Amino acid sequence: MAKWLLCGLVLLCHSLLAATPRVITLSPHLTELAFAAGITPVAVSAYSDYPAAARTLEQVASWQGIKTERILQLKPDVVLAWRGGNPQRQIEQLQRLGVRVEWIDPQSLDQMINTLTRLQVWSPHPQQAVAAAQTLRRQAAALRQQYQQQTPVPLFLQFGQQPLFTAARNTLQNEIITLCGGRNIFADSPVSWPQVSREQVLARHPQAIVIGGDAARAASVAQFWQPQLSVPVIAINDDWLSRPGPRLLLAAGALCQALHPAKKKPD
């Protein structure tokens, strides 16, 4: 009897493991979204370094492209791809070879949060995906309520230095600025990621500069703008600010606190 019971348990465990969807993520932010949804991918992209468990996974994509043959060998149930960073021709080749591909391109905080709910169908822990989405919605709503009445602070969102790039209206980064009671001085640009000149920035009189980086990077940027512009340089963790994943809410919280330090941080 015990022997048959043991065999039954082994078969059950094997069945459960086999039923776990095999997911591959092709960008760091998709890896973060997958883990937040309770998914441990079978392979990821280069620079997938969060959470820590992602660093141990096989990498099948980089800026040079994707490893098509290896992806086929891994037999994924779904590949999560990003139009902004993955080569469409290679992704379409995977699709022609019978691989299911889900394009995930969040263009707003709501879309990013809804992605977690969407991913529950591939998660062995779908309730975790739903709970994570609910948590992020509460955090965004709390920040919006806390800072929506603030007088807008003109901000320059700086990416790079030579040349200078920034973000315009239709970006997640602009949405974070607005959420925190800021006003993006280049929100009116006709392109999402415009290259701008030093003179254009100075002409719009920002009251603060927001960058991705640390304190050392902030000091370097402040020096770059001297002597014409002496304003606070707010440094936000680069991965939080640049990746369209769950940690965008951490970037928003840090920015809100830096812009309005006198206000109590929402629970």
Tell me the per-residue pLDDT of 101-134, one tens digit each, with 9 for 90 and over. Answer: 999 999 999 999 999 999 999 999 999 999 999 9
Q: List the helix and strand counts (H, then E) for the chain.
A: 11, 12
More confident residue, 62 or 10: 62
Output the known binding site: 47
The residue whose two tokens read 């739903």 is 130
63-108 pLDDT tens trace? 889 999 999 999 999 999 999 889 999 999 999 999 999 999 999 9
pLDDT of amino acid 84: 86
Architecture of domain 16-133 in this structure? 3-Layer(aba) Sandwich (3.40)
Q: pLDDT for 147-173, tens place per residue? A: 988 889 999 999 988 899 999 999 999
DSSP secondary structure code for residue 157 in this structure? E
Place of tokens 């970006």: 171
What is d(CA 267, CA 256) in angstroms, rounded to the nearest whole number? Answer: 13
Cis omega (within 30 of 0) for bond into 227 = yes
Q: Kindly report the pTM of this predicted structure.
A: 0.88
The CATH H-level superfamily of 149-259 is: Nitrogenase molybdenum iron protein domain (3.40.50.1980)
Considering the chain, what is the average pLDDT of its residues?
91
**In this predicted structure, what is the pLDDT of residue 10?**
44
Query: Above 80 in pLDDT, residue 256?
Result: yes
10-14, 15-19, 102-106, 241-245: which has the minimum mean pLDDT?
10-14
Instruction: Specify whether the CB–CB gap between 246 and 33 falls below 8 A.
Output: yes
Q: Are 193 and 165 in contact (CB under 8 A)?
A: yes
Cα torsion 177, 171, 219, 182 to 10°: value is -20
What would the two tokens of residue 58 be?
């096989």
Q: What percent of the chain has pLDDT over 70?
A: 91
The binding site for cyanocob(III)alamin consists of 47
Which residue intervals of the chain bear CATH 3.40.50.1980? Answer: 16-133, 149-259
Q: Taking a C-beta distance cutoff of 8 angstroms, is the pair 157, 183 a contact? A: no
Give the residue among 204, 193, 157 at the shortest CA–CA distance from 178.
Answer: 157
Q: Minimal CA–CA distance to 123: which of 77, 83, 56, 81?
A: 77
pLDDT at 11 over 70: no
pLDDT digits (tens, 9 = 90+) for 32-65: 999 999 999 999 999 999 999 999 999 999 988 9
18 has pLDDT over 70: no
CB 209 within 8 A of CB 234: yes
Pairwise CA distance, residues 69 & 120, whole Å: 27
So what's the pLDDT on residue 262?
A: 73
Contacts of 3 (CB under 8 A, 6+ apart): none
Q: Length of the chain in residues, anyone? A: 267
